[in-house]
Amino acid sequence: MNRKRPARCLAVVVPLSAILALSAMHDAAAQATDAPGGAARPRAVRNLLGGSTPAFIGLARRVAGGTEAEKAEFARISLEEMGGAFHAEAERAFEDRPGPGKPGHEEKDPRRWAAATEGYASRLFGLSESVMAGAMVEVRIEQEGTVLLIVGDNTVIVSGPNIANPEILENRIIDRVCLDPSCDTLATATFDMSHTPAVGGRWSHTDTQSPVYATTNGLNFLFEDATNLPAKEAACSAIATELASIVNAIKNLLWQKQPVDWNAIAVRPDTADPATQVLRINPNGDFVKLALPQLVQMPYVLQSALPWVRSQVEGRYSQHYVQLPPGTFD
């Protein structure tokens, strides 16, 4: 049963690595107050807290809309993994300590870092115990692509000590939350094709020109003959709609600050769900799930249309011509 949460002021628990890194950047910026590059500091902060992987965001989005038990389980596992990661970081710092800092540089003493890191790990383990004791949990995805856990009156950014490689922590969380293959559908960003309107178009052909089906969004499908035009028109409209859904999905990913490599984009069948297909978006293997039944059978169409897809994502109108083999859709 959902209970209405009273309005309150939330305490924000920011990852220790972010706090210390932000502090270091602040000190460096303070020493260069008059330097022309001083305005670049906000960009560094955005990079520092630069979002989760599409797989983790997809899982968090599904959990956020799930049951209270699912949210609690996700929060407990995330907090335990974060606590373990920071505890291991503290142990490494203790082992690597060279001794007291030099006079005037005591703040560089790794023992202080280790003690602070261990304290933060203990705080995370304590929040995990609060979840198990029944504390209310919320899961949120922020605009910049960070995942937040709200446990009681505390807000935690899901992040490990290695901010530059969020997948290290996030994959461990995914592996523990997703204990069976069916969870593969949770650990991906999934987009609803119903939000992409069907794309229409019109035919143009003469006695001396082969038929061309031109869609309203700049795609032109070239055919060798005019046989079975209704079936060809339906298929062309479906392909154009699938390409438009890819445009929308990539726009969404870029808005979330997720890495998209145009040279790595490819479509393949989804072995876990025949109703959807997998669109790989970068060499790291990150992917989204879309309904692409036409394109998965004709991957060459997607590859040839990628310049058009990119122009659409970037807000530039362009024409693209698709030459289909003889007999296609007859």
**Measured between alpha carbons, how far is 255 from 54 in angstroms, rounded to an integer?**
12
pLDDT at 274 over 90: no
**Are 178 and 143 contained in the same domain?**
yes
Residue that terminates a domain, selected from 154, 187, 220 = 187
**Are 247 and 267 contained in the same domain?**
yes
Q: Which residue has the higher pLDDT, 99 or 41?
A: 99
| Domain contains 233 | yes
**Are 24 and 158 contained in the same domain?**
yes
List, for residues 8-28, the tens digit of each pLDDT value.
Answer: 333 444 454 444 443 333 333
What is the Rg, in whole angstroms, of the alpha carbon atoms belonging to the chain? 25
Q: Which residues pair with 141 in a beta bridge?
A: 147
pLDDT recorded at residue 43:
25
**Measured between alpha carbons, how far is 223 from 245 in angstroms, rounded to an integer?**
24
Mean pLDDT over each residue of the chain, to the nearest integer: 75
pLDDT recorded at residue 243:
94
Domain count, the chain: 2
**Are 157 and 214 contained in the same domain?**
no
pLDDT recorded at residue 97:
56
| Domain contains 31 | yes
What phi and psi values does residue 323 have, to the nearest 5 degrees? -90, 115
pLDDT recorded at residue 190:
47
**Are 251 and 316 contained in the same domain?**
yes
Average pLDDT over residues 86-100: 72
* 197, burial (CB in 10 Å: exposed 0-12, middle 13-18, buried 19+): exposed
List, for residues 200-229, the tens digit of each pLDDT value.
Answer: 899 998 777 889 999 988 999 998 888 889
**Measured between alpha carbons, how far is 278 from 154 in angstroms, rounded to an integer?**
36
Residue that terminates a domain, selected from 166, 187, 208 = 187
| Domain contains 117 | yes
> Domain residues for 112?
11-187
**Are 18 and 124 contained in the same domain?**
yes
Which of helix, strand or coil describes residue 35? coil
Nearest to 246 by CA among 275, 267, 261, 264: 267
Residue that terminates a domain, selected from 165, 187, 209 = 187
List, for residues 110-151, the tens digit of each pLDDT value.
Answer: 778 888 888 998 999 999 999 999 999 999 988 667 899 999
Virtual torsion, Cα 165, 166, 167, 169, nearest 10 deg: 120
Average pLDDT over residues 157-180: 79
Confidence of residue 167 (pLDDT cuts 50, 70, 90): confident
pLDDT recorded at residue 39:
33
Virtual torsion, Cα 162, 167, 170, 172, nearest 10 deg: -100
Average pLDDT over residues 101-105: 48
Q: Which residues pair with 323 in a beta bridge?
A: 222
Q: Which residue has the higher pLDDT, 180 or 273?
A: 273
- Between strands 287-290 and 11-13, the pairing is unpaired
